[in-house]
Amino acid sequence: MTTAAQRQVLDQGDIARSLTRIAHEIVERTKGADDVVLLGIPTRGAHLARRLHRKLAEITGNELPVGTLDITMYRDDLRLKPARALEHTEIPADGIDGKLVVLVDDVLFSGRTIRAALDALADHGRPRAVQLAVLVDRGHRELPIRADYVGKNLPTSLRESVKVKLDEKDGVDAVLLGGSGETNASSEGHSN
């Protein structure tokens, strides 16, 4: 629900256009996306990866390998919170060795999720290169990490919260920016 404290910054059409643009950029930057493997970071990153997968199929006519990469057990903040349920990791059958892996997530924030994802990836194989696609980059990096493909750069204050809603999970497509007075960040998307 969009509360009074939240402002919608992207709607369904915006999100679709952003993903289409990212898909085209991937094809362009990877010169046809022949050896690309899409890995979404659960849960919303996994849905976005599947959407990108469909768009890339439309563009290239090829079904690129797509999978998911759970980074929970590689997080650097495990001991700060209760033990949490794991998400599914699914590496495509042909693996990632020598491939160009595009990690997909919903929000890029501190960069710690991506740091964990890079560690997890190393335990699954040795990609030729790794790139990062995110729907929203909200800034405030705490690690030297940047995205290769960004749906929308969204300047925020640290007190604000960014929430990505996706139809597959939330029943609606939207990106919401929470008011600075909102301290309950529990509605925030998977973003770092």
The nearest distance, CB 163 to another protein, in angstroms, is 9
Of 25, 35, 119, 148, which one interacts with another protein (CB under 8 A)?
119
Q: Which amino acid is at 169?
A: K
Q: In this complex, which beta carbon is closest to another protein, that of residue 33 or of residue 175?
A: 175
Please count the other Cβ atoms lying within 10 Å of the Cβ belonging to residue 110: 17
Identify which range of 3-11, 13-21, 57-65, 118-126 contacts another protein by CB under 8 A: 118-126
β-sheet bridge partners, residue 36: 100
Please list every residue from 128 through 157 that binds another protein, using CB under 8 A: none
The bridge status of strand 6-10 relative to strand 174-178 is: antiparallel
Is the bond into 183 cis (omega within 30 degrees of 0)? no
Radius of gyration for the chain, computed over Cα atoms and rounded to the nearest angstrom: 16
Chain positions 38 to 97 lying near another protein, rule: CB under 8 A, are 42-44, 70, 73-74, 78-89
Contact with another protein (CB under 8 A) among 51, 53, 99, 112: 112
For the beta carbon of residue 164, count every other beta carbon within 10 angstroms. 27
Contact set with another protein (CB under 8 A)? 42-44, 70, 73-74, 78-89, 107, 109-110, 112-113, 119, 122-125, 169, 184-192
